[in-house]
Chain A
Amino acid sequence: GDSVTQTEGPVTVSESESLIINCTYSATSIAYPNLFWYVRYPGEGLQLLLKVITAGQKGSSRGFEATYNKETTSFHLQKASVQESDSAVYYCALGNSNNRIFFGDGTQLVVKP
């Protein structure tokens, strides 16, 4: 089936350090799934951070970037310099040919001041 595996949390980094949260996907129903990163900030609902629907493309939002890599079936989330306000839970997700969205287990990010 279709699934997503991401870095197990919590991930703790200091403010201004770089960050990478790994995400790999398995898609059996579709050659080129749509890929998403969703985020839940403390006290808020889950919301879209970024999405990429074309293999080889990069998406970016709020200083975060993720590149859709078909060869390694990966969609890692990166940021060059994190801020305390980036502390949240990040979910990688895949959209398949049946218009279903599959979510990873989430990665809690803790940014220390």
Chain B
Amino acid sequence: GGIITQTPKFLIGQEGQKLTLKCQQNFNHDTMYWYRQDSGKGLRLIYYSITENDLQKGDLSEGYDASREKKSSFSLTVTSAQKNEMAVFLCASSMDWFSSQNTLYFGAGTRLSVL
């Protein structure tokens, strides 16, 4: 089996700071995703990447940038952290983009707090 590794596990930032979250997968999956989850809420899609060097905006892309440097890695940047922001960011991968039947495989998450 494979694994998705997110770093860091916890991220504390200052208002206005640029913050980067990283994700690595060894499934050899084509497609990767970044979701945001606020407390007690479902997952909202920020960015996804169908394949290496591809980037697609999700429903919540404003305030974020993403980069798919290579097939196995997908990073997310919070361009300007908002004061008192607290959320968990989840990275996921799936075999490819061609079917919504595909299972998503998730990392453990990065918990963000902004002071």
Interface on A for B, CB 8 Å cutoff?
4, 33-34, 38, 44-48, 51, 53, 91, 95-106
Majority SS of interface residues in chain A?
A: loop
| A99 CA to B94 CA, complexed, in Å | 11
7 nearest A-B residue pairs (beta carbon): A95-B100, A103-B42, A46-B106, A103-B43, A99-B100, A105-B42, A45-B106
Given known A-B contacts A99-B97, A99-B99, A48 and B42 have beta carbons under 8 A apart: no
Residues of chain B contacted by A96 (CB below 8 angstroms): 100
What distance in Å separates the Cβ of B7 from its nearest Cβ neighbour in chain A?
Answer: 14
What distance in Å separates the Cβ of A34 from its nearest Cβ neighbour in chain B?
Answer: 5
Given known A-B contacts A100-B45, A105-B42, A106-B42, A46 and B101 have beta carbons under 8 A apart: no
| A62 CA to B8 CA, complexed, in Å | 32
What distance in Å separates the Cβ of B98 from its nearest Cβ neighbour in chain A?
Answer: 7
Which listed residue (B100, B101, B106) contacts A100, Cβ 8 A? Answer: B100
Contact A106 B40 (CB under 8 A): yes
